[in-house]
Chains A and B, each alone.
Chain A
Amino acid sequence: MRRASRVLRGTGRFRRREIAAAAMVFPSVPDEILVQILIRLPVKSLLRFRSVCKAWRSLISEPFFVDFHLHQQSLRDPQILLLSCAGEVGEFCLESLADERGILERKLSAVPVESILTPSCNGLILIHRDYSQCIYVFNVSTRKLLTLPDCSPSLHVNLGLGYDPPVGTYKVVRLFHNREGDAHLHCEIFTLGSPEWRRIGEVRYKLDVRGFPASVDGALYWLTDYDSHQNKSEVIISFVLREERFKVIPHPKRCAGEKRRYMQLWEFRGDLYLQDSSGKPVMNLWVLKDHKEGIWVKNYTINLHRCGYALHDIPYVKPVSICRDGRLYFSLFGRLFYYDPHTETFEVVLLDLALCEILFPYVESLVPLRKEMKAFAD
């Protein structure tokens, strides 16, 4: 009888060499099944299980395993990262909202106050000590922190972290002015694993830098600034990490004019989303379905009037996370809401977010922060 060796749902990319790495680990269970079991575990369990035996340790550190684990975890509903002042004096506390709605688990170490934190990219966030040249990369799940070399002494404007999947490199993109009064926006890049920052020159678009760029599939995305950017037909600017070049991409046709003041870009579940409002107490979310053709589809129209909010509240609403089944978390005036598009109903998940600085989705990730991060290219 032929042996039925099949990899179950998910990726089917095991190679002989990879299987050999997993061999002898779990004598009673085939190796590909062992891998399927382990990639479903949270990072905390895997860090523990590294000490089971040598074979488990090397399996859990294998780049292919880290990759599979990240892929598997990204299929689940994302966890939500909360940053609040709830910890000791002078420290922020990172907490996470687990899968099950409303269960708040404090699990993370403290980060310094006066820090800027970017949204997560493969479970990594950037921590920037305000007014300093010091930037850290932090893996939220493993709690490992990597200090980058100092960036250039300049007037900080904006920061983003992106991942270039085929090459397997992470790049930190920083926008700045050379000095006070400098009207030009400049850009420098730090590739994780490289020795230093690289300047790539001036940015010829006036970007909206109130928030952070959205990091999606090898590119960062900004909106142009409505007031200062001359060409009003240029709305969304992409920065492809491979090419290291800024360029305009198409935007939804109906998102123009004054409405643009309330627009924001987000990344959810690996897609680029555009938030806008149509002059009513309504939050719309568009998703970029086709990068090549520039096809945007409006997939949420949320009437905030129904949970007691009015038109003037619109600038403060912020989508936080989208679940597999399409349900959506959003925050508004210190409250976290859970919205079900099938029934168009709302539910308040958390009442008192007043002290919360950030609310970001993140995935469990084993991505290591050592110097040579190109191992993922394999």
Chain B
Amino acid sequence: MSESTEKKMVRLRSSDGEVFEVEESVAKVAKTLQDMLEEDCADAVIPITCVRAPILTKVIDYCKDQVMISSSSSTTNNPNERTEQERKAWGQKFMEGVDSSTLCELLVASNFLNIEGLLNLGVDKMVSMIQGKYPQEIRDMFNVVNDFTPEEEEEIRNQNAWAFERDPYYKKRSSSK
């Protein structure tokens, strides 16, 4: 078997120990992996220490798609080439049904692996998810603890009362326990 005709494969290990085998071109969509592979400092199996298997699966899906688009982009009339609108629609579809905790993990993964396109998709998705939300929804979504006293919270809300409209989640707390 001659090595040159075979596509070079790269193995990635997720934080929970699952090993994925992907083509080198797919792995190289991630700038972090590209640097490692080009500097030849990649181990036989590259540990992706902060990314769980289900998230890595999604990341690899994204990278495969990027390779598919760019593979024939040198030729004119590339059937895979997308218009701005199609790209937008594809991005929305790719992010469809992703919940907030998965999205957080995807953001961490794409930042760690340095995949700008995926990071941007994630950021846009997060923006659309939280845009119209009320403070309590944000706290629930991201496990943030409300560390204001009732008086402080009310004061901040009063500074821009118009922005809260009728907040269904807000009940005036009393300061005495």
Q: Which chain A residue shows the least CB distance to B46?
A: A1
Asked whether any CB of chain B lies closer than 8 Å to the CB of A45, the reply is: yes
Complex Cα distance A37/B126, Å? 7
Judged by DSSP, the binding face of B is: helix
In the complex, the answer to whether B162 meets A40 with C-beta atoms within 8 Å is no
In the complex, the answer to whether B156 meets A57 with C-beta atoms within 8 Å is yes
Interface centre among A9, A26, A51, A57 (most CB of B within 10 A): A51
Tally of contact residues, A, Cβ under 8 A? 35
In the complex, the answer to whether A4 meets B113 with C-beta atoms within 8 Å is yes
In the complex, the answer to whether A30 meets B111 with C-beta atoms within 8 Å is yes
In the complex, the answer to whether A54 meets B144 with C-beta atoms within 8 Å is no
- Interface size of B as a range: 35 or more
In the complex, the answer to whether A27 meets B143 with C-beta atoms within 8 Å is yes
Task: Answer whether A8 and B119 are a contact pair too, CB < 8 Å, given A1-B32, A37-B130, A45-B131.
Answer: yes
Chain B nearest Cβ from A273, distance in angstroms? 25
Contact indicator per residue, chain B 122-153, by CB within 8 Å of chain A (1) or not (0): 01101100111111001100111111100001
Chain B residues near A36 (CB, 8 Å)? 123
Task: Answer whether A54 and B148 are a contact pair too, CB < 8 Å, given A1-B36, A27-B143.
Answer: yes
Complex Cα distance A30/B112, Å? 10
Asked whether any CB of chain B lies closer than 8 Å to the CB of A52, the reply is: yes
User: Which residues of chain A in 1-28 are interfacial with respect to chain B, using CB atoms and an 8 Å cutoff?
Assistant: 1-6, 8-9, 26-28
**Which of the residues A5, A8, A26 comes within 8 Å of B120, measured between beta carbons?**
A8
Asked whether any CB of chain B lies closer than 8 Å to the CB of A252, the reply is: no
Complex Cα distance A142/B132, Å? 16
Asked whether any CB of chain B lies closer than 8 Å to the CB of A354, the reply is: no
Chain B nearest Cβ from A62, distance in angstroms? 16
In the complex, the answer to whether A41 meets B114 with C-beta atoms within 8 Å is no
Asked whether any CB of chain B lies closer than 8 Å to the CB of A44, the reply is: yes
Chain A residues near B36 (CB, 8 Å)? 1
Given A8-B123, A9-B120, A42-B131, 7 more pairs with CB closer than 8 A: A1-B36, A28-B142, A29-B108, A41-B131, A51-B135, A53-B139, A143-B160
A-B contact list, 8 entries, CB within 8 Å: A6-B31, A6-B114, A28-B143, A40-B127, A44-B163, A48-B160, A50-B156, A53-B144
